[in-house]
A and B are shown apart, each in its own frame.
Chain A
Amino acid sequence: MINDTNIPSTLMEVNHLSIDYVTPGRPPAHAVEDVTLTLREGEVLGLVGESGCGKTTLMLSLMRLLPAAGRIVGGEVNFMGTDLLNLSETDIADVRWKRISMIFQGAMNALNPVRTVGDQISEAITQHIPMNDKTALDNRVGELLDLVGIAPHRKVEYPHQYSGGMRQRAMIAMALACTPQVVIADEPTTALDVMIQAQILELLQTLQQKLGLAIILVTHDLGLVAEMCDSVLVMYGGVTAEYSDVDTIFNEPKHPYTQELLKAFPDLSNPRETLASIPGYPPRLDALPPGCRFAPRCPAVFDRCHVEQPDIHAVTPTHYTSCHLVENS
């Protein structure tokens, strides 16, 4: 949807995906509702939104990794021609990691403490690619570690012998082990210090360009989005607020939430400007307002917003937003 049709082909299409969390004895929480997005080969898609707006939920559902309480209640995830939501357990297991891999939010504990890092990377490879040659496998693991700047001989070490940044890089190496088409990076640098954050993001960016990966980058850092992403999906309270290419989002945001987010983001070219923050709290997902989810906090709110939920509206063929203001104009 970002470029004209002839260039890179579509990898993944998410259509009208909705996810509930069900807790017995409570109304279901509509964590994600009617999200549609497209990912092309080599594209970097940024996913932004306040804490709790459903970013991780959406990402986990793409690999069918939702926790037991999570239910996909509608929509489809079309990946290279197949709907992942209809695959059998064994078929989805083949897609996981080989086609789509994920760097988890807070990946600090994402490695098994009682097995060596190298062993865990080998496992990811052999799970999908039959490799009888032990030395070839070892070499491949060494190569992957080298790629993320870890000395190959450290593959025999255990996760506790790695620093936090190294563990994160080992996770990236593991995510690349089967050369997947898509890597989902869910806040890959939270809990790391600024220097390491920069290193890791630079690494991701280099690898993305070198390997032509498509990446979905979940982040709170709009600076990073501006620098790395081709397109941006802004989520608010489980729904799409705005979705377009990065220039449009930054220069012509239509949704008041996007506008507020951008105001909250310190402008590097104008450091004197005070940082705005959005007053109020995101909605409770099990007791949503009847109209627009953003209405209680929206500076441009009007009567209709309180009674009717806005549909997703195409401003241009590559720019979508769900706001009554846009529909009206």
Chain B
Amino acid sequence: MNRSRVLARRIAWALFTLLFVVVLNFFLFRVLPGDPARAGIRDPRLTREAQEAIRVRFGLDKPVINCFESLNPVKLGSCEVNPFETQFFIYIGNLLKGDLGISYHLNQPVADILRARLWNTVLLIGAGQILAIILGMGLGIAAAWKARTAIDYLALLGSLMAWSLPTFWLGIILLFWGSTDLGLPIGGKLTAGGSATNMVDEWIDLGRHMILPTLTYTIVFLGEYMLIMRSTLLDVLSEDYILTAKAKGLSTFQILKDHALQNAMLPMVTLIALNLGFTVAGAIQIESVFSWPGLGGAIYEAVVRRDYPMLQGAFLWIAIAVIAANLIADLLYSTLDPRVEAG
């Protein structure tokens, strides 16, 4: 049918949103007060020449955009300048080349720093989310299937507790327990000055470092998935078509598998996508408890140091992740629910 048209429309919307975010992201950071010469590098001993050299290095000597020399404070400028000589188009041009500018603080390309950090976050969150989704949904299904039995009440109690635990506190408790009783590393991604001599040892070392933060992350998210899965599944199980399925002679297992789950997955897909998108920002608390070198830590540091290019780059990544997750959720939703196509 018109599936491909729906697909095209969804992708176009995502791209449009992305464009909007890119533009917003640029102006947001020009409207904020300060440039590195004043805010980023607050060293009174810098000479005027040195400050000027810094402005040139970060491209801040150019007008922000045609007609505007700068936006904070607002300073009008010539409208005749070559647009490609303005900060805005240089920023866009650099973006297209994958260049996110240079970190004020670390003096390295933002894209390089973020890339390494992003993969660490994806690794941690990916593992945590996958575990939380599998366990949470599994528990939710079991609880709904055995609704109002001991299994249900236990799962419910456990999930409510997991959901209400403060992340930071849970992290510290697990860290304490894991590092003393289990001898797991207390933080970081790899053992410093690594003794690992081959790939396998390195992977094992990474795995040992991941256990505690992943466990924390899983517990924090598992409760939410379980509770939502259970309640949507219970709603679905009270629908008329479930009675039809039962009347047709289907077993409880068949009813769950062939009729209930697909319907119950609809709200879950949205929830998972939103969670995934936003948590690329890094589980800031978990990353800081376990000194995990992820995006969350990078953002925290950039805020403290007023490292605008870093923040700008990180925001862009987060926006891309959220938009992509939503796009995937939309597409998945329309394959799960035939009614979406009509609308």
Contact = CB atoms under 8 A, between A and B. Distances in A.
Contacts of B44: none
A112 B249 contact: no
Interface in A133-173: 158, 160-161
Given A96-B249, A113-B263, A127-B250, A104 B243 contact: yes
A38 to B, nearest CB: 23
A113 B248 contact: no
A241 interface: no
A11 interface: no
A191 B197 CA distance: 74
A238 to B, nearest CB: 21
A137 to B, nearest CB: 15
B248 A112 contact: no
Contacts of A96: 246-249
A109 B240 contact: yes
A93 B263 contact: no
Contact of B244 (A98, A104, A128): A104
Contacts of B42: none
Nearest to A160: B339
B105 interface: no
B301 interface: no
A174 B244 CA distance: 10
Contacts of A107: 240
Contacts of B259: 112, 115
A101 interface: yes
Contact of B246 (A65, A128, A158): A65
Contacts of A158: 338-339
Contacts of A94: 249
Contacts of B8: none
A96 B243 CA distance: 12
A225 interface: no
B112 interface: no
Contact of B240 (A106, A116, A124): A106
B251 A110 contact: no
A101 B338 contact: no
A102 interface: yes
Interface in B70-90: none
A294 interface: no
A123 interface: yes
Interface residues of A, number: 32
B251 A160 contact: no
A23 B138 CA distance: 30
B244 A111 contact: yes
Most chain A beta-carbon neighbours within 10 Å: one of B241, B243, B258, B259 = B241
Nearest to B265: A114
B249 A128 contact: yes
A160 B258 contact: no
B303 interface: no
A110 B249 contact: no
A110 B241 contact: yes
B249 A98 contact: yes
A63 interface: yes
Contacts of B262: 114-115
Nearest to A184: B247
Size bracket, chain B contacts? 20 to 34
B60 interface: no
B342 A101 contact: no
B247 A63 contact: yes
B243 A123 contact: no
A106 to B, nearest CB: 7
B251 A93 contact: yes
A97 interface: yes
Contacts of A98: 249
B337 A113 contact: yes
Contact of A93 (B243, B249, B342): B249
A89 B249 CA distance: 10
Contacts of A109: 239-241
Contacts of B263: 112-114
A259 B239 CA distance: 38
B183 to A, nearest CB: 49
Contacts of A111: 241, 244
Interface in A65-124: 65, 89-90, 93-98, 101-102, 104, 106-116, 123-124
Given A158-B338, A158-B339, A160-B342, A113 B249 contact: no
A98 B245 CA distance: 13
B336 interface: yes
A106 B239 CA distance: 12
Q: Give the interface centre of B243, B244, B251, B338 by most chain A CB atoms within 10 Å.
A: B244
A111 B338 CA distance: 13
Nearest to B342: A160
B338 A114 contact: yes
Nearest to B266: A114
B251 A112 contact: no
B342 A127 contact: no
B319 to A, nearest CB: 32
Contacts of A108: 240
B339 A113 contact: yes
A89 B336 CA distance: 31
**Which of A63, A94, A109, A114 has the most C-beta atoms of chain B within 10 angstroms of its own C-beta?**
A114
21 contacts: A63-B247, A89-B251, A95-B249, A96-B248, A97-B249, A98-B249, A106-B240, A112-B244, A112-B245, A112-B263, A113-B241, A113-B263, A113-B338, A113-B339, A114-B262, A115-B259, A123-B250, A127-B249, A127-B250, A160-B339, A160-B342
Given A109-B241, A114-B339, A160-B342, 19 more contacts: A63-B247, A65-B247, A90-B251, A93-B251, A94-B249, A95-B249, A97-B248, A102-B247, A108-B240, A109-B240, A110-B241, A110-B243, A111-B244, A112-B263, A114-B262, A114-B336, A114-B337, A115-B259, A127-B250
Interface of B: 239-241, 243-251, 258-259, 262-263, 336-339, 342
* 3 A-B pairs with least C-beta separation: A109-B240, A96-B249, A158-B338
